[in-house]
Structures are given as structure tokens and as C-alpha cells.
Structure 1
Amino acid sequence: MSAYAWDAEDYARHSTAQKRWAGELSERLALRGDERVLDLGCGDGLIAAQLATALPCGSVVGVDSSAAMIALARRRYPAERHPNLSFQIMDAQTLSFDARFDRVFSNAVLHWLKDHPAVLAGLHRSLRPGGKLLLGMGGQGDVADMRATLESVIAAAEWSEYFQDFEFPYTFPSPADYRHWLQAAGFSVRRAELLPKDATHDGSAGLAAWIRTTWLPYSQRLPESRREAFIQNVVEAYLLRIPLDDSGLAHVAMVLLEVEADKLGDERMDTT
């Protein structure tokens, strides 16, 4: 994620669905109030701050690879007002914690990454014995209509020169993928399931804002002067495929993968 120039303020304004789903997912942590929690890919820090409020005798560390996101999180939730909350710039694929946390939470982050086994190995090291992780990410079949739209747009003569040798930048794993990776990393899998979601956006402008703030691997292939025209082209093509509803809302069918697992002792790890 750090390879892209994130506009943290813009993302914070146009990530309503991600935050709603993160809030719903975080309820499954069932916190007592004294746990140490890692929020992996904390973005602007909102969910990490909500978790910290629920942990009067615990703490939260939010990490993100984007310096802009961490800077915004620190401005919004300064240590003097949130003494049990801190933020660090860190790549999820190279975590440096050692048996520090009781819980790991992550939402709408891991589909950005390619090396999930490396992430899970780092999470295993980061958790204390008996620790638990709760992960939500784009899963198998996610954003199929938007992906098809983007493929058609970038193949058009107007844009194709910018997408030579372009590879799809996201990883949308299946439950079977994740069960295998978790078990190999030393976790006992409690749940790995795909959940359909309907992301709604306020008309063409709302859809454009979502594309602008989250589809950076596409838009940032272009010169800055051409990005808005590209985004509008994507919006128009998508709405021809999936029109606005009678209330003027744009709908994007999504598929999320939710995962829950417990840390096993190192002696039980499958190293095959």
C-alpha cells in the first residue's frame, strides 16, 4: 500500500462502507477491557480509537504502511488524549512485534498484499500464546462488475498506453486459501467464510470519489492531469453496466472474506 500516494483526508471522507463493516466486524472481538490489540492497516485511526475506548485497562497499536495515514491518525487521536492508543508506520508483510498482543484486528487491508503467508507469520510472532486474530478483506469474487469495467476501460485506445504490462494489483483469496495459510503459520482456524456485501455510493459523484480514493493502482498509472477524466470514464462505463437505482444510489456488489483463528504453540506448527 505504501507504494501509492494516499490522500488520507480524502480517503477518510469517502470510506463510509469500509468503516461500517469494520465496526460490525470489530464487535466479534468480544473484548473484556484489558487486552492488548493490534489494528493492522489502521488507516486514519478511527476504528483503533473506538477499540481503545473499549479497553480501559488495555491498549491498541495501529499500524499502517502509509505515512500519510499514520500522520492523520496521530493528529486526530493524539497521545495526550488517548494514552492507551499509539500508531506506527509498518509494512504488514514485515511486522517486528514479538508476543506483544492478545488480539489482532484487520479490515479492508490484506487484499492489497501479495504475500499473505509472510503477513500471517508476522502475526503469529506478534501474538501471545492463546492470542486470536480477526481479519476481514476482499475475498474470492469481490468487485467483479467493477473489475470487468476497469478491464474494458484500460483496454481502450485512450488509456491502453498507460497500462502496458499492468497486473491486477489485489489478492482476493478463497476460504480454502486462507485455511491453508493459517494452518501452515501455526493457527487453529475457527472461521473462514465469504460474505456478500452491497456497497452504496451517492450517485455518480459518490462512485467517483470511491474510485478516486481506493483504486489508486489504476489512477496513479496516469499523469495527474488525466486522472479525473479516467475516473469519469470508469464511472460512466460502470453505470452503463449497473445503473443507479431509483433513489440515485450506485451499487457495487462486493464479497468479503472474514477469518477468525487462534494461535497454536510453535511445536504444533505445520512446516510442510
Structure 2
Amino acid sequence: MKWNPQDYAKNSDAQLKWAKELKQSLNLQGDESVLDVGCGDGKITAEFATTLPKGRVVGIDSSPDMIAYATRTYGAHVYANLSFACVDARSLDFEQEFHLCFSNEALHWVDDHQAFLGGASRSLRRGGRLVIACGGQGTAADILQVFSELICCEPWKHYFDGFHNPYFFYGDQDYSLWLEKAGFNIERLELIPKDMTHVGKEGLAGWIRTTWMPFTQSVPESKRGDFITHFVETYLQRIPLDQDGLVHVRMVKLEVSALKS
């Protein structure tokens, strides 16, 4: 997939809002070391750096384009305590370096969460905290239903021969077992319904374009705009704009807080 960091930064307000809510619950003292897994464009990672003037913050992402953008925008030339690196979440190679391993709206792209959790455990100091929020079991069901219909109909279906849904939305029962196996004591593990909103058709189209690339990038660029328009029109026929012109999307977040034993 080809990420567009600038476009993503303009169309990720919901992800940013949820990350700030998660971050506010952490009660940081200002001198912690933090690993942000799946840091994307670096906005939240940079907020950690501001919050931790005596600490250290490392943002990692598997997308070279995202890391290049984050480094240009928020790197060490702006924040002395902040650095970015292109690293796969399944291959964390840090050794007891961090007080906090944080990940927001990223891990549903990762197919092997047990590999991630093992690496996160190794990365944390004893007593360090793991905090995760990502798409959970049942999330975006209405979105996925519309996509499943569009990719089976004309004029789109021949672009999706052999297509496989690349998202991994896990439940709390699986995660409980995996956390314990990786050496974590669970503080909180929940599947939480969330209402995601976007401003009008344009807001929904921007979110689809920038975060559902496995679907949209299967269509040639010359036809991609039509595909997204078809999606938006179909979705809004079923779940219309509210009286304030907002689009609502039913999401489910898997939220985790656990301590390394």
C-alpha cells in the first residue's frame, strides 16, 4: 500500500481525538520513556515529546513515507527528545528501554499480534505499561458490508479477483490469552463501541481514501474517485447524514492496559 501522509494528516481527526483521550488517562510525570507503535504522521508522538520534557520518545511505523513525513515535521530538529524509525510492529528489537509502549489505531493492520506483544514485553522495563487502542471485533461492520457489496458488482468486481480483507479485528478473549502468554498482567481489557463522525460527504470520502487503501488502491487511479463516490453514496443511502450534516460510523475499539510482570 502507498500511504499519503499529508492527506492522512488532514483526514484523521477522529483518530487524533481518540488518541488524546487515551493519552490523558496515562498520568505521565514528565520523565518517562515512550515507544509509540504505528506512529503514522507523528502528531501524537510529538505530543508525547512535549508532555515529557525530561523523557525520551521513539515513534515507529512500517511505512517509510509516514516516517519520512514525521521526521521532517516533528523530528529532532524540533524536539530534542524525539526520534522516528521505520520498524515493523512484529519485529520490535528494543530491550527493556521503555516505561510505556503505546499504540493507537494501528494494530488492526498487523496480522501477528502475538509477535507484537512479545516484542512489546521485551521493550518494556519491569512494571512498564502497555496501552493499546485499535479496531476490535465487530468494528466498521457497516463500512465493510458496503465494500463487500461493491467489490462484487460491476464495474468494480474484476479489480478484486483474489482480494483478501487485510484487517485484523480481534476480540478480548483472544487478547487475554496472548497478553498473559507475553508476560503481562491485565489492568483493563475491553471492547468499546464508539461513534465516529465525519463532516459531510467530503469528510467520509477523505477518510475512505486515506485509511481504506487496500480497497481503494485496488482500483486504478483514474477510476478511484468514482469508486469512492459510489461507496459514499451507497453508505449514505443506508445511514444518512444527521441534522448537523455529520456522517456516523459505528466502530468498536479494543482497548488494553497491562503491566509487564
1:5 paired residue number: 2
Unaligned residue ranges in structure 1 (runs of 5+): 265-272
The answer as to 2:155 corresponding to 1:158 is yes
Gapped regions of structure 2 (runs ≥ 5): none
- Residue identity in the other structure for 1:70: I
CA distance in 1, matches of 2:64, 2:81: 21
Question: Which of 176, 187, 197 lines up with 1:190 in the alignment?
Answer: 187
Give me the whole-angstrom Cα distance separating, in 1, the residues matched to 2:178 and 2:24: 25
- Give the Cα separation in 2 of the matches to 1:171 and 1:106: 15
- Indicate if the aligned counterparts of 2:75 and 2:84 stay in contact, CA closer than 8 A: no
Match of 2:74 in 1: 77
Map of 2:234 onto structure 1: 237
Q: Distance in 2 between matches of 1:94 and 1:162?
A: 32
Secondary structure of the 1:39 match is strand
Identity %: 53
Structure 1 ranges of 4+ moved more than 6 A: none
- Partner Cα distance (2:177, 2:96) in 1: 23
1:30 to 11, 27, 30: 27
Shift of 1:247: 1.5
> Out of 225, 231, 249, which is 2:246 matched to?
249
Residue 208 of structure 1: how far off its partner (Å): 0.5
TM-score by length of 2: 0.98
Q: Distance in 1 between matches of 2:224 and 2:173?
A: 37
Residue type at the aligned position of 1:24: E
**Aligned-partner residue type, residue 159 of structure 2:** Y
Deviation digits for residues 102-159 of structure 1 (CA, Å, limit 9, x no counterpart)? 1011000001111000010110111111111100000111011111111111111211
State the alpha-carbon separation in 1 of the partners of residues 184 and 257 from structure 2.
10
Aligned length: 261
Quote the residue 1:93 is aligned against.
90
- The residue number in structure 2 matching 1:220 is 217
What does 1:129-148 align with in structure 2 at a 5 Å threshold? Answer: 129-148=126-145
Structure 1 counterpart of 2:251, one-letter code: M
